[in-house]
Amino acid sequence: HHLIRKGLRTSVGLVVESGEPREVHHFCCLAGYGAEAINPYLAFDTLLDMHKRGELPEEVDAYEVVSRYIKSIGKGILKVMSKMGISTYQSYCGAQIFDAIGLKSDFVEKYFTGTATLIEGVGLDEIAAETLSRHADAFGSDPVLRNILEVGGEYMFR
């Protein structure tokens, strides 16, 4: 929103290179806030590693694995856009057609200007504390953490 406030947003393209986006919802949120290109490098690396370890069908080569992922994300974005009545990516990109749930209104106003927030929640201090806690769990020097670290995440094998 800094670029918008300075009147420079239309002069640049936003490219997001991150290990975070992996699901359609993540891509839709990034696009909805103006990302014109997204490089989900960790998702690609994970798929390629799974292919290398033989966890994916043998008949599918590495290029095809990544191509199918990109295609599925693209189809998912189109499905979300169609449910919103939006027919072009240009109309969706930067449209901010979201409500923020569980974030403090001052946080939303500063970092997601113009986004509605009806249910208050955490702010920057809480987000920073959780980030530091997760980092300490992942990279701490306690040898016990290496064996008991929670898997975390939304999905896991049974």
Sign of CA dihedral 135, 138, 141, 144: positive
Q: What is the pTM of this model?
A: 0.82
For 100, list phi and psi in degrees, rounded to 5.
-90, 130
Q: How would DSSP label each residue in 95-149? A: ----EEEEE-HHHHHHHSTT-EEEEEEE-HHHHHHHHHHHHHHHH-S-HHHHHH-
Residue 22, C-beta contacts closer than 8 angstroms, at least 6 positions apart: 40, 42, 43, 46
Whole-number CA gyration radius for the chain: 19
Decide: helix, strand or coil at residue 82. helix
pLDDT tens per residue across span 36-90: 999 999 999 999 999 999 999 989 999 999 999 999 999 999 999 999 899 888 8
Q: For residue 31, is pLDDT > 90?
A: yes
Q: Where are the domains of the chain?
A: 1-97, 99-153
pLDDT tens per residue across span 79-122: 999 998 998 888 888 888 889 999 999 999 998 888 999 999 99
Confidence of residue 7 (pLDDT cuts 50, 70, 90): confident
Confidence of residue 153 (pLDDT cuts 50, 70, 90): low
